[in-house]
Amino acid sequence: MRAMVLEAPHTALKLLQLPIPTPQRGQVLLRNLACGVCRTDLHVIDGELLNPQFPLILGHQIVGTIVELGEGVTTLKIGQRVGVPWLGKSCGNCPYCISGRENLCDHTLYTGYQMQGGFAEYSVAYAQFCFPLAKTESPLHQAPLLCGGLIGYRALMMTDHAKRLGFYGFGSSAHILIQLARYQDREVYVFTRENDVEARELAVQSGAIWVGSSEQLPPVALDATIIFAPVGGLVIKALQAVGKGGIVVCAGIHMSDIPSFPYALLWEERVLRSVANLTRQDGHQFLTLAEKIPIQTSIIAYPLEKANEALNDLRKGRICGSVVLEM
């Protein structure tokens, strides 16, 4: 199979010919149709996430067709389309897993990080961590739901059903999440960089009440904000934007250092919290909603061998919506 492989941090991916992997007990082999490209992939390349398994195939938003079942797999079948998310496996036995918080398990394996990911023509994944997907939808448009959608959904659930909701950054996750927020009759206020004209236009088209600069305050006090951009300084801006009892959710897996700020910004029962990964329950709930709404993804597709170009365009902020590799 062809695969784009990261051999070490701070290097470009290499197009290699590798053996097709064999599914082990509890796993399935997928012929990949599409795989989303995520800012987390950039964090791995840049050495900001510390435990990758090199050489590594990145990619944790995989849409594929099952072509082989490993021993013991009975819940899925050959020919079925499934999605593979960031959470590739958890232990199932620790206090976190038992209490429904498998996203915090200390023994997790993550797709495209400790497990080989989807920037390849074939992948293996644990059957219990795959989500069945409809064959009637485009796999290219399904791929962004598996990280931008799922992590965004978990972040949204942490805003305690806020009516007035702010988004800092309007990329893959935010352009999906605004559709869910509007479906739930929430008001969405979007903060972007001054020169991000395309993102602003997409936000308005998607139903944002107000769109402005990250340096501005919104016209009204917000109930909650979600920070998608990995910029620690936005925490201060977000705390200033919410009212008493407001919630600020940091939705990324990595963020630059948060500057010090006066306690007055946090006082009056404001809440600052992070989102870590996802649970399978998040996935089933969100994908059911995504089909019901239905959520539409705005994508730019690249062929597999153009993965470096796709990553660079994402890094440079040239993408409006989601980036997807097509096999």
Contacts 24+ apart (CB under 8 A), 134-142: 134/81, 134/291, 135/81, 139/33, 139/34, 139/63, 139/64, 139/81, 140/33, 140/34, 140/63, 140/299, 140/301, 140/324, 140/326, 141/296, 141/297, 141/299, 142/34, 142/63, 142/83, 142/297
Of the candidates 124, 146, 28, 122, the one whose C-alpha atom is nearest the C-alpha of residue 76 is: 28
Dist CA 129 CA 193 (whole Å): 36
- The domain limits of the chain are 2-146+297-326, 150-274
- Domain 2-146+297-326 bears CATH identifier 3.90.180.10: yes
Which pLDDT score is estimated for 93? 97
Amino acid letter for position 255 = M
**Three-class secondary structure of residue 39 per DSSP:** helix
pLDDT surpassing 90 at residue 297: yes
For the chain, give the mean pLDDT: 97
pLDDT surpassing 90 at residue 120: yes
pLDDT surpassing 90 at residue 111: yes
Q: What is the mean pLDDT of residues 13-18?
A: 98
Please write the tens of the pLDDT for every residue from 36-92: 999 999 999 999 998 899 999 999 999 999 999 999 999 999 999 999 999 999 999
Which pLDDT score is estimated for 308? 98
Please write the tens of the pLDDT for every residue from 189-239: 999 988 889 999 999 999 999 999 999 999 999 999 999 999 999 999 999
Question: What number does CATH give the domain 150-274?
Answer: 3.40.50.720
Dist CA 204 CA 129 (whole Å): 35
Please write the tens of the pLDDT for every residue from 126-172: 999 999 999 999 999 999 999 999 999 999 999 998 999 999 999 99
The whole-model pTM stands at 0.95
Which pLDDT score is estimated for 195? 85
Dist CA 321 CA 97 (whole Å): 33
DSSP labels for 186-234? -EEEEEE-TT-HHHHHHHHHTT-SEEEETTSPPSS-EEEEEE-S--TTH
The answer to whether domain 2-146+297-326 and domain 150-274 are alike in fold is: no
Q: In this prediction, what percent of the chain has a pLDDT beyond 70?
A: 100
Which pLDDT score is estimated for 196? 86
